[in-house]
Amino acid sequence: MSTRICILFFLFLGFGSCLSAHNIIRGKVLDATTQLPLEGASIQVEGLSYGVATNRLGQFTLYTDTSITAILVSYIGYETQRIEIRSPEEVLSIGLEPAAIDMDQVVVSGADTKSLNTLSKVDVGLRAVNSSQDVLRLVPGLFTAQHAGGGKAEQMFLRGFDIDHGTDINVSVDGIPVNMVSHAHGQGYADLHFLIPELIQAVDFGKGPYYTTQGNFTTAGYVQFHTFNALEHNLVKMEVGQFNTLRTLAMVDVLGTQAQARGQNAYMAAEYLITDGPFDSPQHFNRMNLFGKYTNMLDDGSLFTLEASAFQSKWDASGQIPERAVEQGLIGRFGAIDDAEGGQTSRKNLSAHLVKNLNERTYVENQFYYSQYDFELYSNFTLFLNDPINGDQIRQKESRNLFGYQGAYHLSSELANNPLASTIGIGFRYDDVNGNELTHTRNRRENLMPIALGNIDELNAFAFIDESLRLGRLSINAGARLDFLKFDYVDQLNPEYQTLSQQKTALSPKLNFLYELTSNWQLYFKSGMGFHSNDTRVVVAQKGAEILPAAYGADLGTLWKPAPRLVLNTALWYLFLEQEFVYVGDEGIVEPSGRTRRMGADLSIRYQLTDWLFADADVNYTYARSADDPEGENFIPLAPDLTSTGGLTFQHPSGLNGSLRYRHLDSRPANEDGSVMARGYTVVDAVLNYTHRRFEVGLTLENVLNTDWNEAQFDTESRLFGEVEPVSELHFTPGMPRYLRARVGYFF
């Protein structure tokens, strides 16, 4: 397939139209206040549809065969500037001032293959994100479910995948991986609770396996969160709510305006949250987050970033309960069979990132990162199925050190007078996991039987090349990624010491096309291969067979701006995933998972009704089936088929702002033959704030209609205490009932 990609690429080079670069305009775009670069700012030639976007350093190079009198520089959330071109040789330095969001600033032409990021800039600028779950919901079509007292990573759903806690989506924060390979609870476990929501500046996401920079777990897609490099203002905030909820937040600049004028910024943030939740047995949830970040725009235009964070939480949980226990009146919807579930976790991160400006055409990125991570979780999914006396509670535990490096060389050049952007990248990630444990326990205190215990060393080294060529209205992006993975496992329950080792390589080619029909209408076709790795214990047990399943995907879509304040995105897509063997972390066993195919349609709408009122909607349909099972027995359990989110958001000049939003997840099969159905739901949330220059007060009302809904649902075989025979039925964690929170914040 990689050979075909190369042939197609060079065919297009041979037959593509030429753009004679008679004029070249270069410059950089900065935030006028912080003097930090604005990545993704739009540079448009006045009167033409042709344009480009700025890179990581805020730099741009604009090629055109016509004389340029002026350019328009825009960035969502900033005032658009018209810049007259007096001399093509002049390197422009453009500072943009913050302003209210206006959909008229959304630019379709000049975008790259990450077209959906155009929508995410609007969403991040408008939506108030007040919880860790809200963070992931910024991705259109991505749903989350919490089912372990608030401290466990959310279960995720996207494009017909029950992603579990991260198996098929690559998640990162400021370049630091969130997913954990060979995790004690599940492969790709992505706990995002160390990210303070108010610090999010941008969300970069893409659906499908089409991006060379994204490796392991990028099958359904990827999400990259970027925190602010500088604070707009200092903030202290307190929030109180039902169920004994208290949240405090402080975000403080530590260098001041004089350092900011020299391109230096530093701030610290702290978050503390406690809540008991709506359950009959209090959750006793407790979370602390600390975060610090320093950025320096160097004299040569390079950008250095240093950041550190620390996170810890602990909680009790009521777990998933069987429907029959509620129907028989043994417990209520918010009751528990085993309320000794719960756990504790912590993570510390350190990252150094340098974007080095070599010359007007070239820059290099280098990032080193380190994470120290601990995890301990108590669960009881089957109640008294396997042990009718003591129950089936288990402990999953691990301690991990994560080291990594990623670097990239970026070059802007021309090929036959056509703009060519080239990126070559290398990197590695090394996970040193100690005491990866699965133990049968009782009431958290008593160890009944060890099931699995071992040490894991896992290395993922990678290299990629990415080429983007612009041929008039047509842009072609082609690339390939090579991942090398090495898996080592030492079974500590084996009396004889032995290191079991396997290694594998995955090649993932990509080919994408983007065509601008008009300045406001863009078509795209994306294709590529991706993969997700499997747990080291699967790899060594299978002797390396069928443990890096490839995903083959294609998207055909359009980004259209039919009116100045209306943007539409539509896509038809297909994804095929190979046969694999998976490790069931809750049981310590290896089982096969057959080939699957998914296809669907996505629709996203963003519309500005007035200067201060905005509407949005995302509708996603998926047809997901097993490729090897007979019709009627080929459902993929819990795979969503129809999902939708949307609402109204307002930001009135008087200071009043808020939103009324819904999310809908349709009923879907919970098992392979559809005999057990996971119940769908529609939940409505409301936010109302009054924001002044110096303070903000607000209310959040979750589940306005007080809907009874199931947040997490599974078809599970279990046995209640005293039951003679086990029963297989729907087990669930109830969703949040009507939940009111009030907050007050002070800006300084």
CATH of the domain at 297: 2.40.170.20
Pair of tokens at residue 179? 């997913």
Residues 6+ apart with CB under 8 A from 295: 36, 229, 230, 264, 265, 266, 303, 304, 305, 306
> H or E element: which one contains 289?
strand 285-297
Tell whether 587 is covered by a domain.
Answer: yes
Calculate the alpha carbon distances from 82 to 79, 106, 268, 534, 564 in Å. 10, 16, 36, 52, 18
The beta strands (E) that lie in 652-680 are given as 656-665, 668-669, 677-678
In this structure, are 192 and 239 located in the same domain?
yes
Span between the terminal Cα atoms of the chain, in Å: 57
Whether the CB-CB separation of 232 and 248 falls below 8 Å is answered with: no
Per-residue pLDDT tens digits for 392-438: 999 999 999 999 999 999 999 999 889 999 999 999 999 999 999 99
> Which residues, given as ranges, of the chain have pLDDT below 50?
1-21
> Of the residues 100, 127, 148, which one is the last residue of a structural domain?
100
Single out the residue of 728, 721, 726 nearest to residue 389, CA to CA.
721
In this structure, are 134 and 94 located in the same domain?
no
Single out the residue of 273, 360, 269, 281 nearest to residue 60, CA to CA.
360
Strand pairing category for 23-31 and 91-96? parallel
Tell whether 83 is covered by a domain.
Answer: yes
In this structure, are 452 and 508 located in the same domain?
yes
Tell whether 206 is covered by a domain.
Answer: yes
What pLDDT score does 463 carry? Answer: 99
Residues 6+ apart with CB under 8 A from 743: 237, 238, 239, 240, 247, 696, 697, 698, 699, 700
Pair of tokens at residue 309? 């964070």
In this structure, are 515 and 551 located in the same domain?
yes
List, as one string, the DSSP characters of 385-423. Answer: SS-TTT---EEEEEEEEEEEEEEEEEEEEEETTEEEEEE
In this structure, are 606 and 565 located in the same domain?
yes
> Of the residues 100, 133, 159, which one is the last residue of a structural domain?
100
Tell whether 402 is covered by a domain.
Answer: no
Whether the CB-CB separation of 64 and 43 falls below 8 Å is answered with: no
Single out the residue of 248, 287, 252 nearest to residue 268, CA to CA.
252
Please give the torsion angle defined by the CA atoms of residues 204, 125, 174 and 360, in that order, rounded to the nearest 10 degrees. Answer: 80
Domain that holds residue 387: 117-392+421-747
- Distance between CA 516 and CA 471 in Å, rounded? 11
Per-residue pLDDT tens digits for 559-611: 999 999 999 999 999 999 998 767 676 777 767 788 999 999 999 999 999 99
Residues 6+ apart with CB under 8 A from 14: none
Other beta carbons within 10 angstroms of residue 473's beta carbon come to 17
Residue carrying structure tokens 């302003």: 99
In this structure, are 335 and 195 located in the same domain?
yes
In this structure, are 93 and 137 located in the same domain?
no
What pLDDT score does 650 carry? Answer: 96
In this structure, are 43 and 138 located in the same domain?
no
Other beta carbons within 10 angstroms of residue 254's beta carbon come to 13
Total number of domains in the chain = 2
- Distance between CA 426 and CA 405 in Å, rounded? 8
What pLDDT score does 342 carry? Answer: 96
Angle at 307 between CA 304 and CA 308, to 5 degrees: 160
What pLDDT score does 134 carry? Answer: 77
DSSP at 77: T
In this structure, are 172 and 297 located in the same domain?
yes
DSSP at 530: E
Name residue 92's beta-bridge partners.
27
In this structure, are 72 and 185 located in the same domain?
no
Hey, is 136 helix, strand or coil? helix
CATH of the domain at 12: 2.60.40.1120
Q: Does the CA dihedral 180-183-189-191 come out positive or negative?
A: negative
Tell whether 189 is covered by a domain.
Answer: yes
What pLDDT score does 16 carry? Answer: 37
Residue carrying structure tokens 């070599």: 358
What pLDDT score does 12 carry? Answer: 40
Residue carrying structure tokens 């390396």: 544
Calculate the alpha carbon distances from 742 to 203, 246, 417 in Å. 27, 10, 59
Tell whether 414 is covered by a domain.
Answer: no
Tell whether 108 is covered by a domain.
Answer: no
In this structure, are 482 and 559 located in the same domain?
yes
Single out the residue of 223, 214, 178 nearest to residue 373, CA to CA.
178
Please give the torsion angle defined by the CA atoms of residues 166, 168, 173 and 176, in that order, rounded to the nearest 10 degrees. Answer: 90
In this structure, are 242 and 172 located in the same domain?
yes
What pLDDT score does 349 carry? Answer: 99
Tell whether 111 is covered by a domain.
Answer: no
> Of the residues 35, 69, 100, which one is the last residue of a structural domain?
100
